[in-house]
Amino acid sequence: MGIYVFEMGGLRVAATAASEGMPERFGCLLVESVCGGAVSVGGNVMPGKDGLRAGRDESVGGAAADFLLDIVFEDVVEGGGFRARATGANCFEFGMRGVFCEIDLDGGRGLLRVVRDESAVEYSMKLLFGAMLGIRGGGLMHAAALARDGKGRIFCGPPGAGKSTLAGIASGGREAGAARTLNDELAVVVADKGNGGARVYALPEWADGGTMRDAGAAGPSGVAVAAVYVLCQAGAGEATAFERLTGAEAAGAVFSNMRFALPAPEAIRAGMEAADVLRRSVAVSRMRFSLADAPRFWEVVDEFESGR
């Protein structure tokens, strides 16, 4: 039996899986592709600065998990098409090809039956974390997340909006200072109900060489979010422009950029509530970004945020 602990957005999932059914790279694949902050308390793998290394992380061993997931690997799982339904208050089951999962978010328990496929496991774990975050006023946003001067900025938008381009500009220019890209595709954002505002957590991906990009850049407690920007590209000849969004428009924009939400009405409503919580916790604005302003990216952002 292997026991793995996965952390995302301040949440911790302990997953158990029978060793004999485990894909060869099971531990690595989850650490690599699901949540870069993952560690193993079972002795197989844990992240180091330069990649995975064997060992046991005493700093987290025995710590309480927010969720306990039993993983059973099967040769065939009849999960059908992608679907989900509520089976009780904050209880869901979801399925797709090769996956069937039952989760009790309040009880903190779940069972995942899955084929030995890395993508299926990865997607299932993201759905689980998305659901856990959703009932806490957060979620996985389709966004580039950057940290600068201890504050996080979220730049969300559909494919082609310029997230990766912007992340490269914002963290690479001479005036970027200490700006770091936490992730240029997916950001874990959670309302900070205790202190107000919201926090963003790193979701590192692995570069080809096997080293974690900005591993733990946001730290275990995340970074306070200064602003959320809904990104789109400015037209030819247009300067960068901002528009503050409020009310339902802001909440709708946040919701539209949430990913890995379960397609059940109850989960959708929880996601809408989370979007409402987030837009009340942090300023949401539309940003029409002009590449002509790339050299002075942070200057433009600072001007807007300071009201100049």
**Residue ranges that bind another protein, judged by CB under 8 A:** 83-85, 246-249, 251-252, 255-256, 261, 263-265, 268-269, 272-273, 276
The least CB distance from residue 261 to another protein, in Å, is 7
Q: How far is the CB of 177 from another protein (least distance, A)?
A: 35
- Residue 196 burial (10 A CB sphere; 0-12, 13-18, 19+): exposed
Q: Which residue lies nearer to another protein by CB, 154 or 277?
A: 277
Q: Which is nearer to another protein, 241 or 248 (CB)?
A: 248
Q: How far is the CB of 255 from another protein (least distance, A)?
A: 5
SS3 12: strand
Kind plus residue range of the DSSP H or E element containing 206: none
Closer to another protein by CB, 28 or 251: give it: 251
Minimum distance from CB of 82 to another protein (Å)?
9
Q: Is 117 helix (H, G, I), strand (E, B) or coil?
A: coil
Strand partners, 199: 190, 224
Q: How far apart are CA 93 and CA 116, in angstroms?
A: 20
> Which one, 13 or 84, has the nearer CB to another protein?
84
State which H helix or E strand residue 211 sits in.
Answer: none
Radius of gyration of the chain (CA): 20
Q: How far is the CB of 69 from another protein (least distance, A)?
A: 22
Query: Per the structure block, which two tokens stand in for 201?
Result: 């957590």
Tell me how crowded residue 255 is: count the other CB atoms within 10 A of its CB. 21
Question: 282, 143, 164: which is closest to 225 by C-alpha?
Answer: 282
**Smallest separation (angstroms) from another protein to the CB of 274:** 11
- The DSSP output letter for 149 is T
CB nearer another protein, residue 87 or residue 164: 87
Comparison of 66 and 249: residue with beta carbon closer to another protein: 249
Q: Report the residue number, 168 or 252, with the smaller CB distance to another protein.
A: 252
For another protein, which is the closer residue by CB, 7 or 276?
Answer: 276
Q: Shortest Cβ distance from residue 253 to another protein (Å)?
A: 8
Residue 85 CB coordination number (10 Å): 15
What is the closest distance, in whole angstroms, from the C-beta atom of residue 42 to another protein in the complex?
36
Using the structure block, give the residue that is written with the tokens 């509520």. 86
Q: What is the DSSP code string of 63-128?
A: PPPSEEEEEEE-S-----SSEEEEEETTEEEEEETTEEEEEETTTTEEEEEE-S-HHHHHHHHHHH
CA 299 to chain centre: 27
